Amino acid sequence: MSNRTFESNLITPAVLALATVYSKTGDRNIKSDDFRSTLRNMLSTTLSEEDNAMNTSRKEYSNGKTDKRIDQIIRNLISHRKLDKMGFTEYNPMTRTMKFKIKGMRMAEQILSEIATSNAEVEVAA
């Protein structure tokens, strides 16, 4: 059975990555490079072998650049405008920035609230 990560698996971590970059910079216009590196770092300990495998279909691979499958999935998340379609961001291809919209901020708050609640329940049960 495959443990591959798909774009749809990255929605929650992507929103949290946007919130992380926003909290560090205070700027809702988030550079795609900052978003990608933050999301990649957030996922680094949970990726499967398949996600960490080299992406040999990329042209840059032949030039010696390292590119893993997960990097392509993260790029696809931006290029397919998945977060835009959900109303969380608005991508600007001219500036290569993602405007973190209010709906995305609210989603991040909801996710963090659910995490905090579930952690509190675990502590009470222990």
Which contiguous run of DSSP H or E holds residue 63? none
Determine the pLDDT at residue 2: 61
Assess if residue 30 is contained within a domain: yes
**DSSP at 126:** -
Residue 44 sits in which domain range?
7-125
Assess if residue 19 is contained within a domain: yes
Instruction: Tell me how far apart the alpha carbons of residues 13 and 77 are, in angstroms, rounded to a whole number.
Output: 12
| pLDDT tens, residue by residue, 110-124 | 999 998 888 766 554
pLDDT band at 1 (very low <50, low <70, confident <90, very high): very low
Assess if residue 71 is contained within a domain: yes
**Prediction pTM value:** 0.84
**Burial category of 77 from C-beta neighbours within 10 Å (exposed 0-12, middle 13-18, buried 19 and up):** buried
Assess if residue 2 is contained within a domain: no
| Beta strand pairing call for 97-100 and 29-31 | antiparallel
Percentage of the chain with pLDDT > 70?
A: 84
Instruction: Tell me how far apart the alpha carbons of residues 7 and 70 are, in angstroms, rounded to a whole number.
Output: 10
| pLDDT tens, residue by residue, 52-82 | 888 877 655 455 566 889 999 999 999 999 9
For residue 71, the domain's CATH number is: 1.10.10
